[in-house]
Amino acid sequence: MKRIIFIIISIAFLAVSLFVNISLTDSTQKYSQSRQKYADELNYKKRLLNIDEWYKQEKVIKNRKEKTDKLLEDAKKNIDRQNEYAGIFILLSVVYFVFVLILFMKQKTSLKYLTLSLITIAIAALYVGVFAPMLEIVAYEKNMEIPLKVAVDIPFVGEKHIGYTQKFSGEMYFFYQSKSIANLIDMLFFQAKNTVVGLAILIFSVVIPLLKLFASIFVLINIRLMKLSFFSFIINKIGKWSMADVFVAATFLAYLAFQNMSTDILTDSNSMIGIYYFLSYCVLSLISSTTTGIYVKRMTIPKNHCL
């Protein structure tokens, strides 16, 4: 009876958390879109090539401020909504794990079901870790000044240089980027045509994590699968690759952090929710791999051992 309750609760948790995480990812992507529009509105090319910026600054600044304030307000609303969904997911995960802990307390199979619950939470976290932006990078300059010099040939006086400095008030954006692992894989495959790097990120950030988690689930459900070389290899050997996904994430962040950077302009970077979910998956994956190994060593079942 408890096994059936566990299955029902796990399916319900996955369904609800999937809805919550899809909404969270959507809010995060809308935030990035608003920030991208904000950066486009203050793009250095758009400002420098706009003749009104040179002699009608007050009017231009007023009109632009209305647009940018609206975009920042939209971004704030979406980030607040994202944080609300993140709080709901954390609460769901804690309630789900505590429920399983109470349900199988002091039972021989408690480690098995606690590990399965950790894997279920890790799968839900991995979704956000892959599809939500992990980092945003901006490059900009405030109150940019452009010195101009004009040579004028004055009769009987000679050539004179007239100096003038044009000041552009506010921020001028040179670069904005915010990408998730999924965005980066798509870009590497179809835009940058860098299939090797894209394939490496796909394998180590998506394929291997899912393979580890689902192999652990099948072995926990039926320990006899450990006699099969495939599952034995996944459980015993793939643990050596446990830090590969972390390394890929770090490489991905470094790629974003240094791409298109310049020492002559201001730069800023902010970690986004995708990196925290991916970190959560990594921690839960390592814990569940350890507890799976402990459970397999502990249990020697001569008969079928399944849910």
180/97: higher pLDDT: 97
Residue 205: per-residue pLDDT: 74
Confidence of residue 302 (pLDDT cuts 50, 70, 90): low
157/117: higher pLDDT: 117
Give yes or no for residue 11 having a pLDDT over 90: yes
Q: Which of 102-106, 160-164, 167-171 holds the top average pLDDT?
A: 102-106
Q: Which of 16-30, 57-71, 154-168, 205-219 holds the top average pLDDT?
A: 16-30
267/120: higher pLDDT: 120
User: What confidence tens digit (pLDDT) does each residue in 105-133 have?
Assistant: 877 788 889 999 999 999 999 899 889 98
Indicate the pTM of the whole model.
0.80
Give yes or no for residue 80 having a pLDDT over 60: yes
DSSP-assigned letters across all residues of the chain = -HHHHHHHHHHHHHHHHHHHHHHHHHHHHHHHHHHHHHHHHTBHHHHHT-THHHH-HHHHHHHHHHHHHHHHHHHHHHHHHHHHHHHHHHHHHHHHHHHHHHHTTT-TTHHHHHHHHHHHHHHHHHHHHHHS--EEEEEEEEEEEEEEEEEEEETTTEEEEEEEEEEEEEEEEEEEEEE-HHHHHHHHHHTS--HHHHHHHHIIIIIHHHHHHHHHHHHHH-GGGGGSHHHHHHHHHGGGGTTHHHHHHHHHHHHHHHTT--TTSEEEEEE-HHHHHHHHHHHHHHHHHHHHHHHHHH---SS----
Domain ranges of the chain: 2-298
Tell me what the pLDDT averaged over the chain comes to: 79
| Lowest mean pLDDT across 43-52, 96-105, 120-129 | 43-52
